[in-house]
Amino acid sequence: MQVQENHQHFILHKPYGYLSQLINNQNKRKNKRLLGELFDFPERTMAIGRLDENSEGLLLLTTNGKVSEEIRSAKFEKEYYAQVDGLITTQALKQLQEGVEIGIHGTKYKTKPCIVKNISNVSDFPFANRKVRDARHGPMSWVSITLTEGKFRQVRKMTAAVGFPTLRLVRVRIGSILLKIESGKVEEVADFNN
């Protein structure tokens, strides 16, 4: 008789300035803010994919490694809103859509074709209008980038490759799950299909 193990699943709005890890296993990260400060997650909880310290938005967590593996696969789209330096051009959007060359751990890599569009209104999502810099430093614009891959700091590298460095990065969707909760909030769910 096989015993069915009960797993727990969580949706988190990761705030800016937090690492995508629950406990501090490395002494060099003594002064870093960790997800375990936001909620009392059960033992064996893991983040599904990561958002770097300066990125924010939707992060899924689970105690089930199989679920983690499936969601990190190319079957699930991940959508990001990137606030970029300057008013992004049609040419840059087209380059991003077709794939651009970036560096991954010292090796050149061409990103897969993806969905990219200019967006003018980000108010549908519950993230604060955090000021990334003063308007005196020039215009900024928002772009939506939807990927089926997730290389190290990929979106930031992609926008920089076309001349529009990312100033702020927010993941707003994983598959059909949208960012709906406020920054720093955690919601436990029965599974990720609801």
Beta bridge partners of 33: 18
Three-state SS letters, 64-92: CHHHHHHHHCCCCCEEEEEEEECCCCHHH
User: Which of 40, 52, 85, 134 is an active site residue?
Assistant: 52
85 belongs to the catalytic site: no
Q: Give the span between the Cα atoms of 58 and 46, in whole angstroms.
A: 14
Q: Give the span between the Cα atoms of 186 and 37, in whole angstroms.
A: 11
Taking CA atoms, 57 is separated from 42, 78, 81, 175, 184, in Å, by 21, 11, 9, 14, 9
Give the residue numbers marked as catalytic. 52
